[in-house]
C-alpha cells in the first residue's frame, strides 16, 4: 500500500501525539478503567483478600438494600444526605455573602482576602484533630470560653445529637476558599451595567437582583456542582475527628467512611464495591440533574 | 454625588472595617486555639478549668513529639513525607505538561476521545477505584511501600492539572510552533524549548499544588500502609495513629498533638508565603474556566 504525502504526515502526527500523550492513556487504562471494571465485577461476587472471587450473584446489592448491611448503609446514606443538604447551600450563601462583602470598595480588602483564606490551608488531618480538640468537653477552646469564662452551660459538641451540627459549623472556617472564586466572578461583571442601571434610577437591591445575581450564576453553578461532588464523598475530616469510628452513635459516619470500613477493616470487598457503585451512581445522577436543570445559568458570551 | 469626605461614606467605611476585623478574628480562631494549645504544658491542659491562653511557651512539646516512645517515629515520618512529596511534584509537573502539550498542540486522531475520557474521571468517586487498586497493589507487591503514593502521578498527574495547562498553552499563538517546525524542530523540542518557558507560571502553580496535596495526603497512606509497617508512615498517618485513640489529656497529650500539627503545617504555609499570588490566581482561574 502506498501512502500519499499528506497521509504520511498525518500518520507521523498521530504517532507523535499518542507517544507524548501515552502517560495519560496508560494512566487512564491502569488506574481508572481497569479498577472501574474490576470493581463493577467485584460487586457481583464475594471478594476478600484470602480467597478468590466466588458466588456470582446479586447478594451484595441485596445485603446493602435489604440484608445485614442495610441498617448501617441507610444510616450512612442519611448522614451524607443531611450533611450535603445543609452544608452545600449554606456554603454557597455564606461564601457568596462573604465575597459580596469583600467586593466593597475599601482599602485593604486584598489583605483581608488572603487572611480569610488562611484557614483553608490547614490540612484535613490537622483540622479534623484541631476541631476535635476545640470541641473537647473538658479542655476544649469553646467550652472553656463559653462555660468557664462566660458562664454558660457546657455544650456536648460531640454527642450523637450535636456532632453533625458541630461539624457543619466547623466547616464555616473554610468559607474563604470559595470566596476567591466568587470574587473573581463579581469583578468580571462589566461596570457599564451598573452605570446604566443607576441612570435608570435603580436602587442597590434592584441592582443586586437584576445584575449581580444573574451575572454570577455561572460561578454559582460551578460551586454547586463541585460542592455536591465534594460533599457526597466526605471522608478525611470526619474520619480524623472521630478517630475513624464515625463518632458517638455513628453520627458522622458518612457513606464514604462506611464503604471504606467495609472494604478495608471488614474486608468485605464485594459489598464495599457494590456500595461504591451506588455512591458513584448517586454522584452521577445528582450532577446530571444539576446540569439538566441549568437553564437558570446565564452565559453572557453565548448570545 | 459622593465626595471624598462625605459623612455617609465615612460611616459606611467604618462599619465595613469593624465587620472585617470581626470576621478576621473569627477566621483566625482555629489558629489561636492551635498555637495556644501548642504552647501549654500538660499541667495547664489537664487543670480544671483549663486556661484559655498559655502562661508561656512550652518548647518541650515539640521535642516530646519527636521523642515519643512506641511505634511512631515522627522524624522518620517527616523524611518519608518529604521525599514522596519531591517525587510526586516531579511526576505531576512533567507528565501533566507533556500530556497537556500533546492534547493541545498535536492534531493527532483520537485526541478528543482521550480528552473527554480524562475529563469524565474528575467526578468519579475515588473509593470506586480504590478497592480494586488495593488488590492490584497487593498482587504486584506495592502494599506497605511508598510506591502506590507516587508511581500513579507519573501517568498524567491527574486531569485537573492537564486541563488547566491546556488552557494556558492554547493562549500561545500557533505560529510560534509552525515557525519552529519549518526550522526543523520536532515536537519534543517545541514542547521543552518553546512552550515550557512560556507556561512556567502555571507549572509553578501546579508544582505548589502537587506539593501541598502530597504533603497532606491522608487516605492514600492510610489505605496502602498497614500498622505493621510504622517505619513507612508518612507524617499525616503517623499523626493520626499517634493521637486517635485516647480520651484523657494524659493519654492524648493534646499539647503535643498541637505542636506536631504546627510542624505539619510549616511546609504548606511556607509555600503559601512565597507563592500566595500564584495560588490565589490559580484558584480563581480554576473557577473562571468553568464559567
Give pLDDT tens digits for B195-223. Answer: 999 898 889 989 998 999 999 999 999 99
- What residues does A46 pair with on adjacent strands? A54
Residue A23: name the closest of B80, B282, B289, B97 by CA: B97
Q: What's the pLDDT at B53?
A: 82
Q: Is the pLDDT of residue A303 over 50?
A: no
Contact in structure between B85 and B221 (CB atoms under 8 Å):
no
Domain count for chain A, please give it.
Answer: 1
Q: Minimal Cα distance from A259: which residue of B? A: B127
Q: What's the pLDDT at B291?
A: 37
- What SS3 class is residue B215? helix
Pick among A27, A239, A274 to test the B interface (most B CBs inside 10 A): A27
CATH superfamily of B70-244: MetI-like (1.10.3720.10)
Q: Do A20 and B101 make contact, defined as CB atoms within 8 angstroms?
A: yes
**Is A107 inside any structural domain?**
yes
Q: Minimal Cα distance from A120: which residue of B? A: B27
- Identify the band that residue A254 occupies on the pLDDT scale cut at 50, 70 and 90: very high
B102 min Cα distance to partner chain A (Å): 5
Burial B120-144 (b: 16+ CB within 10 A, else e): ebebbbebbbbbbbbbbbeeeebbb
- Identify the band that residue A301 occupies on the pLDDT scale cut at 50, 70 and 90: low
CATH number at residue A51: 1.10.3720.10
Say yes or no: ipTM exceeds 0.90: no
**Is A35 inside any structural domain?**
no
Query: Nearest Cβ partner of B16 from A104, A122, A184?
Result: A104
**Is A234 inside any structural domain?**
yes
What phi and psi values does residue A54 have, to the nearest 5 degrees? -145, 170
Q: Do B17 and A106 make contact, defined as CB atoms within 8 angstroms?
A: yes
Q: What's the pLDDT at B81?
A: 95
More confident residue, B123 or A242: A242
- Identify the band that residue B289 occupies on the pLDDT scale cut at 50, 70 and 90: low
Pick among B16, B125, B261 to test the A interface (most A CBs inside 10 A): B125
- What residues does A54 pair with on adjacent strands? A46
Q: Minimal Cα distance from B14: which residue of A? A: A106
Q: Is the pLDDT of residue B2 over 60?
A: no
Give pLDDT tens digits for B244-269. Answer: 866 677 777 888 899 999 999 999 99
Contact in structure between A45 and A220 (CB atoms under 8 Å):
no
More confident residue, A252 or A136: A252
- What SS3 class is residue B49? coil
More confident residue, B114 or B156: B114
Q: Is the pLDDT of residue A17 over 80?
A: yes
Asked if B288 is an interface residue toward chain A (Cβ–Cβ < 8 A), one would say yes
Residue B249: name the closest of A140, A153, A141, A245 by CA: A140
Asked if B7 is an interface residue toward chain A (Cβ–Cβ < 8 A), one would say no
Query: Nearest Cβ partner of B33 from A31, A141, A256?
Result: A141
Asked if B256 is an interface residue toward chain A (Cβ–Cβ < 8 A), one would say no
**Is A195 inside any structural domain?**
yes
Residue range(s) defining the domain that contains residue A276: 43-302
Size of interface A-B (CB pairs under 8 A): 285
Q: What's the pLDDT at B287?
A: 54
- Identify the band that residue A185 occupies on the pLDDT scale cut at 50, 70 and 90: confident
Give pLDDT tens digits for A270-294. Answer: 999 999 999 999 999 998 898 888 7
What is the 8-class DSSP label of residue B55? Answer: S
Give pLDDT tens digits for B55-95. Answer: 888 888 888 888 887 778 899 999 999 999 999 999 999 99
Q: Do B280 and A244 make contact, defined as CB atoms within 8 angstroms?
A: no
Q: Give domain limits for chain B.
A: 7-61, 70-244
Q: Do A243 and B245 make contact, defined as CB atoms within 8 angstroms?
A: yes
More confident residue, B215 or B123: B215
A62 min Cα distance to partner chain B (Å): 19
Q: Do B244 and A243 make contact, defined as CB atoms within 8 angstroms?
A: yes
Q: Do B102 and A16 make contact, defined as CB atoms within 8 angstroms?
A: yes
Q: What's the pLDDT at B111?
A: 92
Q: Do A119 and B126 make contact, defined as CB atoms within 8 angstroms?
A: no
Q: Which triple of cell numbers denotes residue A265? A: 477493616
> Rounded to an integer, what distance in angstroms lies between the CA atom of residue B36 and that of residue B38?
5
Contact in structure between B238 and B77 (CB atoms under 8 Å):
yes
Asked if B8 is an interface residue toward chain A (Cβ–Cβ < 8 A), one would say no
Give pLDDT tens digits for A73-94. Answer: 999 999 999 999 999 999 999 9
Q: Do A36 and B118 make contact, defined as CB atoms within 8 angstroms?
A: no
Contact residues, chain A, for B236 at CB < 8 Å:
123, 125
Asked if B22 is an interface residue toward chain A (Cβ–Cβ < 8 A), one would say no
Amino acid at each position: 500500500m502506498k501512502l500519499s504525502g499528506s497521509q504520511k504526515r498525518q500518520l507521523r502526527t498521530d504517532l507523535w501525539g499518542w507517544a507524548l500523550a501515552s502517560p495519560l492513556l496508560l494512566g487512564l487504562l491502569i488506574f481508572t478503567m481497569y479498577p472501574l471494571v474490576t470493581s463493577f465485577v467485584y460487586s457481583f461476587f464475594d471478594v476478600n483478600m484470602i480467597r478468590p472471587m466466588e458466588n456470582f450473584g446479586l447478594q451484595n446489592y441485596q445485603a446493602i438494600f435489604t440484608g445485614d448491611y442495610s441498617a448501617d448503609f441507610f444510616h450512612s446514606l442519611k448522614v451524607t444526605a443531611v450533611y450535603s443538604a445543609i452544608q452545600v447551600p449554606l456554603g454557597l450563601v455564606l461564601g457568596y455573602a462573604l465575597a459580596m462583602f469583600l467586593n466593597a470598595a475599601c482599602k485593604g480588602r486584598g489583605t483581608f482576602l488572603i487572611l480569610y483564606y488562611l484557614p483553608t490551608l490547614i490540612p484535613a488531618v490537622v483540622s479534623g484533630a484541631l476541631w476535635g480538640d476545640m470541641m473537647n468537653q473538658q479542655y476544649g477552646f469553646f467550652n472553656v470560653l463559653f462555660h468557664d469564662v462566660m458562664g454558660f452551660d457546657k455544650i456536648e459538641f460531640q454527642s450523637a445529637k450535636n456532632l453533625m451540627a458541630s461539624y457543619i459549623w466547623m466547616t464555616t472556617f473554610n468559607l474563604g476558599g470559595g470566596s476567591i472564586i466568587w470574587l473573581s466572578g463579581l469583578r468580571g461583571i462589566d461596570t457599564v451595567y451598573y452605570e446604566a442601571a443607576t441612570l435608570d434610577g435603580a436602587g442597590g437591591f434592584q441592582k443586586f437582583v437584576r445584575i449581580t445575581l444573574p451575572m454570577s450564576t455561572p460561578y454559582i453553578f460551578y460551586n454547586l456542582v463541585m460542592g455536591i461532588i465534594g460533599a457526597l464523598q466526605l471522608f478525611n475530616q470526619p474520619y480524623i475527628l472521630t478517630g475513624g469510628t464515625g463518632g458517638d452513635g455513628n453520627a458522622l459516619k458518612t457513606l464514604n467512611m462506611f464503604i471504606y470500613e467495609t472494604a478495608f477493616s471488614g474486608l468485605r470487598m464485594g459489598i464495599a464495591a457494590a456500595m461504591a457503585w451506588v455512591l458513584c451512581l448517586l454522584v452521577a445522577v445528582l450532577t446530571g440533574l444539576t446540569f439538566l436543570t441549568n437553564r437558570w445559568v446565564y452565559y453572557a458570551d453565548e448570545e | 454625588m459622593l465626595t471624598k469626605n462625605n459623612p455617609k461614606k465615612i460611616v459606611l467605611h467604618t462599619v465595613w472595617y469593624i465587620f472585617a476585623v470581626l470576621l478576621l478574628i473569627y477566621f483566625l480562631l482555629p489558629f489561636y486555639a492551635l498555637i495556644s494549645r501548642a504552647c501549654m504544658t500538660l499541667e495547664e491542659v489537664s487543670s480544671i478549668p483549663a486556661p484559655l491562653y498559655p502562661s508561656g511557651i512550652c518548647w518541650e512539646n515539640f521535642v516530646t513529639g519527636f521523642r515519643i516512645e512506641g511505634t511512631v517515629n515522627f522524624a522518620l515520618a517527616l523524611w518519608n513525607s518529604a521525599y514522596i512529596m519531591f517525587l510526586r511534584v516531579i511526576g505531576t509537573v512533567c507528565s501533566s505538561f507533556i500530556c497537556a502539550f500533546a492534547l493541545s498542540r498535536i492534531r493527532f486522531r483520537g485526541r478528543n476521545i482521550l480528552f473527554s475520557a480524562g475529563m469524565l474521571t474528575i467526578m468519579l468517586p475515588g473509593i470506586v477505584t480504590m478497592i480494586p487498586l488495593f488488590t492490584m497493589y497487593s498482587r504486584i507487591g506495592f502494599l506497605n511501600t511508598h510506591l502506590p503514593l507516587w508511581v500513579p502521578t507519573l501517568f498524567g498527574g491527574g486531569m485537573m492539572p492537564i486541563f488547566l495547562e491546556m488552557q494556558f498553552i492554547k493562549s500561545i499563538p500557533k505560529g510560534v510552533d509552525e515557525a519552529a517546525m519549518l526550522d526543523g524542530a520536532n515536537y519534543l523540542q517545541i514542547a521543552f524549548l518553546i512552550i515550557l518557558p512560556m507556561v512556567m507560571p502555571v507549572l509553578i502553580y501546579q508544582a505548589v499544588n502537587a506539593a501541598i496535596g502530597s504533603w497532606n495526603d491522608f487516605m492514600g497512606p492510610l489505605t496502602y500502609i498497614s500498622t505493621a509497617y510504622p517505619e513507612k508512615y508518612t507524617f499525616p498517618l503517623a499523626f493520626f495513629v499517634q493521637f486517635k485513640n485516647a480520651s484523657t489529656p494524659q493519654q492524648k497529650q493534646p499539647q503535643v498533638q498541637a505542636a506536631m500539627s504546627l510542624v505539619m503545617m510549616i511546609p504548606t504555609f511556607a509555600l503559601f508565603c512565597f507563592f500566595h499570588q500564584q495560588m490565589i490566581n490559580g484558584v480563581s482561574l480554576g473557577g473562571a474556566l468553568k464559567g
